[in-house]
Amino acid sequence: MVVSKTFYFEAAHMLSNYSGECANLHGHSYKLLVSIAGNPQNGMIIDFKNIKTIVSNVVNGLDHAFLVNAKTSDKVEMELKRIILKSNKKLVEIDGRTTAENIILYIKSAILRLLPNSVRLAKLVLYETKENFVTLEIND
């Protein structure tokens, strides 16, 4: 059985080494669907408020942050990173370019560190726009 909850966050990024509009600094209103699987205990797989607590810890870190490639070689991205760090603004480093695919992998890792062993993360869906999203089915 699977239960799901939706979360929202705003973040800015740019796609280094990309030829198109997304190479420019811009932002998105992200929508994240988190699905948790398990066997109901006392009628529940996991309390929705527990899902909210766990995932909010991750999403709050991303909300209104500049997402940057941790290993960027893009001069503009490196300079923005330097300025943001120097001015104590919110910055999150992602492994690889800050595509929806890499952001969802970052989210998966962060949630797995907080999730109780009695349940498992089943699926994540990250909407970058109303029409564009990435789905990660987790089979472990």
Instruction: Catalogue the active-site residues.
Output: 22, 64, 128
Cβ proximity of 50 and 131 under 8 Å: no
Cβ proximity of 29 and 83 under 8 Å: no
Angle at 9 between CA 124 and CA 56, to 5 degrees: 70
The pair phi, psi for residue 19, each rounded to 5°, is -105, 100
